[in-house]
Structure formats: C-alpha cells, structure tokens
Amino acid sequence: MRPGFTNDASVTERILATYDGLPNSERLIADYVLAHPNAIAKMSAKEIALSSGSSAASMSRFVKSLGFSGFAELSFALERDGTASTPVEDSESIFSRANLDEIIDFVLAVKMEELAATARYLKTSKLSEVVELIRNARLTIFAGVGNSISTAQNAAFKITQTGYRATACSTSDGSSLVALTLSEEDVLVLISTTGYSKRLVNVVENAHKVGASVVIITDKEDSELGRLADIVLKTSTHDRLLTRNLRFSQNPINFVIELITVLLYHSSTDAEELARIFDENMFFDKDLSKTGDSDATS
C-alpha cells in the first residue's frame, strides 16, 4: 500500500494524491480515468491505455503508482468505488451542457466527497496531538504562500477567539522572521495543499533552529514540507475533478482548521467568556441593539 493511503482510499483519491509526481505518459491515463469514471470500470488495461493515448507499459506503471499490486486490484477498487457516494457522471459531459442545476449538483457532490475523504484521513492522523500542542503553546503561528496566506490569517483569528495566542504574517518573509522568535513551547502550522514551497522550507528551518514544533496541513504528506514537519494532517483536495489546472479549493484545509477550533473551544475555560466579549465588540462596531441577533462571522 502506498504510504499515506488508507485501505479504503478511492481510486480518485489515489490519482489526485499522486498526480503531480506522475510522468506525462501516466498523466494521460490519470486524466482519462478522472474524466470517465463510469466507462473505465468496464474497460481492460489495454483499452484504457489506448483510449488515453498512452501505452500498456505506462498503464502497468500507473497501476503501481497508485499503490495497487496489479490491474485486477485496481479493477476491484473501481467496482467498489462505483457503489460509493461519488459523482455519477463524467465531468466532461456535465460541463459541456448548459444545465446549471446539474452543474451545481455535480460540484456539490465533488465538494462533499472532498470533505469526506479528508475526514477519513483525519481519523487516523495525530489530530488530538496537534490540539494539545496548540493548547500548551505560548504562541502558534500559521504560515502559507499565495492564497494560503489569507487562510493562515483566518486560522489565527479563529484560534485566538478560543483563548489561545495565535498569529499569521502577510508574507513568507515575515513568517521566516517570526519563526526565529519562537521557542520550544511554540508551534508553527504550515498550510500548503501541494506541500511544495521553497519559501516555506525556510520558515520550517528557522522554526527547527529554535526547537518549535512544526505541523503541516497538506494533501502531500510525502512532499518536502511533509517530510520536514513533525506532524502531518492530510487533506484530500479534488480541484482536478472540476478544473484541469486551476487550484483554488481551501475547503479541506478550512475543515481541518475549524475542527481544531471546535476542539480547542470545548477544552478552553476562557472560550465562552471571550465569545461573549467578542459579541459585545461586534455590537458596538455595528451600532446594533444588544436585544437583536448578532452576526459575528460577517
């Protein structure tokens, strides 16, 4: 079994987790399988290879890349996946039509499976250990690059609301500098779907220099950042089922962050009082009557 896969990991999950590291000949097969989830369950290895424009040798390597011993095991997994709650129609067919209702249902199904897959990984992860690290930390800093920076800042805000000190910088350079001010009592949480970022490697190295614990939330636990981290919380992002090259989803990472937030809230003696104070400040900020309902998340 390929490292990082649970025994019930779907074929789709395996493809998405390995895609970036596949050679072009195997990516052709991966693209075909992702685009035709129903058809391939009834096809032979040779038929899949020919239909994808690849070769039998590449098909054999592709099967091994997914962690299967052979095509028979892959076929069994495809048959099993066909009975699961996954999207039931090929994505190419869905997006070629102008039926918005069907597109909404398809995207919803993909997003639901994205979260369900992430939840399966979390159940076998060291999530409770991460919560304890943050509970006992003097400071937790969240760091990311690109659109993960705003996710890191949002995470720090949520954690602070539960009564624990957290922060996030607006640049990777800032994160590198702050990492050097940490101590053995502190925690660095990296947010990186791909697990590949030279800028974040520098942040991790600085955190290691001062003895801080390093956690990463990522799809790629066998990436460079995954190997550098002390604890990996694995996610499963399904962007490639919706867009070929656009990487946009933060849903799995936000799910992990919100799960940590809830766990911290229920283990904090100050969270309830802090939430009350926060509500009062929001009323003041919006000039709302204290007899009405608040909207603390807007």
Whether residues 74 and 133 share a domain: the answer is: no
Residue 293 included in any domain: no
**Has residue 290 been placed in a domain?**
no
Domain of 27? 1-88
Pair (142, 249) in one structural domain: yes
Q: pLDDT at position 7, please?
A: 60
- Number of domains observed in the structure of the chain: 2
pLDDT band at 286 (very low <50, low <70, confident <90, very high): low
Q: For the domain that residue 224 is a member of, what is the CATH number? A: 3.40.50.10490
The residue-averaged pLDDT of 279-293 equals: 60
The whole-chain average pLDDT of the chain stands at: 86
pLDDT tens track for 15-34: 988 888 899 999 999 988 88
150/261 same-domain check = yes
CATH at residue 9: 1.10.10.10
Residues 135 and 71 placed together within one structural domain of the fold: no
Mean pLDDT of 188-209: 95
Cross-strand partners of 166: 140
pTM of the entire predicted model: 0.79
Whether residues 131 and 78 share a domain: the answer is: no
Give the range with max mean pLDDT: 6-20, 180-194, 234-248.
Answer: 180-194
Q: Does residue 281 sit within a domain?
A: no
Within-domain flag for 120? no
Q: Please, which residues have CB within 8 angstroms of residue 66's CB and are 6 or more apart in sequence?
A: 2, 11, 14, 15, 18, 74
Do 263 and 142 share a structural domain?
yes
Last residue of a domain, one of 36, 70, 88: 88
Contact of 89 with 226, CB cutoff 8 Å:
no
What would the pLDDT profile of 73-101 be if each residue is shown by its tens digit? 988 888 777 644 444 455 666 777 768 88
Q: Is residue 93 part of a domain?
A: no
Query: Is 218 part of any domain?
Result: yes
Same domain, 133 and 190: yes
Which domain-ending residue is among 58, 88, 118? 88
